[in-house]
Amino acid sequence: MPVMTYRDAIKSAMAEEMERDESVVLLGEDIGLYGGTHLVTDGLLDKFGSKRVIDTPIAEGGFTGAAIGMAMMGMRPIVEMMTWNFSFQAADQIIQNAAKIRYFSGGQASVPLVIRGPNGGGVQLSAQHTHSLEGFYGHFPGLKVVAPVTPHDAKGMMIEAIRDPDPVLILEAGALYGTKGEVPEGEYTVEFGKARIAREGTDVSLIGYGRQVNLLLKVAERLQADEGITAEVIDVRSIRPFDEETLVNSVMKTNRAVVVEEQWRWFSVASEVAASIQEHAFDYLDAPVERVSGAETPAPYARNLEAAAFPNEEQIIDAVRRVAYRRA
């Protein structure tokens, strides 16, 4: 199978859909001439022209709102948020318009819109440029929210999103644009609302999404080697709709769960996962569900402080020991 970077997987999905469907257009800051801050759209202006690859002024609310209007007229716009941090500027458009128009129009209008961009931290961008917004956006009915971690899923979910009749937010793993993975040839989609078992195991369920999945896979190897614990790693990948079944089935098998996320714990995805597990698999649990989340602070700048603000291998291993009732 061909190997491709996460960045190229997203780009090829957009390019292929643009070839297939003239109603697909791109909007965003410096996505055309500049090539995109993260080069995800590099080369697309030359290929598709300025009517379809639209460089916008730095006005997220304005161009996101305009994209919603385009979508209501039957186009399939893809908005690039240079980073999701800037989406607060467009939050009124995303939440008050995109998420609700189908509903308050009584089903007369729809918003087939994709908004994509890098999410999360890890590259010393400090407080205003570091957020993990999956819990925030996942809160709103009417939106779909996904967070792919592999190039395979990034491409398949992007194509699925473009063809979806409702607004889809793709929270890309900003730190992983250069990572490589296998991507099938030809067109395929990854269905929303289905978690992925990234590693099979029997002793504990490690649950996460985005770049945390890679961390969990590393932890699983260490647990196997050092502690003899065989961990199952679940990549949630679709925040809304949310696949309770896969998580619950995993916990029914392992009887223990550690949920890991980069975002703040309170009112977070991990909290929702923990609640789902206790609702549906209470009798199977041998220990309370552990959450490992980001520090409850604005994101710091200094390398060591930032590292301390996000989940790390030691924290996760400690949590696993707690649910397994083991000493270090």
CB 111 to another protein: min, Å: 10
Biggest alpha carbon–alpha carbon distance for the chain: 62
Active site residue 129: yes
Identify which of residues 32 and 300 has a Cβ nearer to another protein in the complex.
32
Q: Looking at 64-72, 153-161, 196-204, 266-274, which segment touches another protein (CB under 8 A)?
A: 64-72
**What number of chain residues touch another protein (CB under 8 A)?**
40
Identify which of residues 35 and 62 has a Cβ nearer to another protein in the complex.
62
Counting contacts by CB under 8 A, is residue 67 touching another protein?
Answer: yes
Within 68-97, the residues that bind another protein by CB under 8 A are 68-75, 77, 92-93, 96-97
Dist. CA 141–CA 242, nearest whole Å: 12
Selected from 39, 91, 109, 217, the binder of another protein by CB under 8 A is 109
Counting contacts by CB under 8 A, is residue 110 touching another protein?
Answer: yes
CB 104 to another protein: min, Å: 4
Determine which one of 29, 80, 129, 306 is catalytic.
Answer: 129
Q: Looking at 33-41, 108-116, 288-296, 307-315, which segment touches another protein (CB under 8 A)?
A: 108-116
Counting contacts by CB under 8 A, is residue 197 touching another protein?
Answer: no
Determine which one of 17, 60, 261, 272 is catalytic.
Answer: 60
Counting contacts by CB under 8 A, is residue 328 touching another protein?
Answer: no
Within 17-56, the residues that bind another protein by CB under 8 A are 25, 51, 56
Selected from 3, 34, 46, 103, the binder of another protein by CB under 8 A is 103
Would you tell me which residues interact with another protein (CB under 8 A)?
25, 51, 56-57, 59, 61-75, 77, 92-93, 96-97, 101-110, 141-142, 144, 165-166
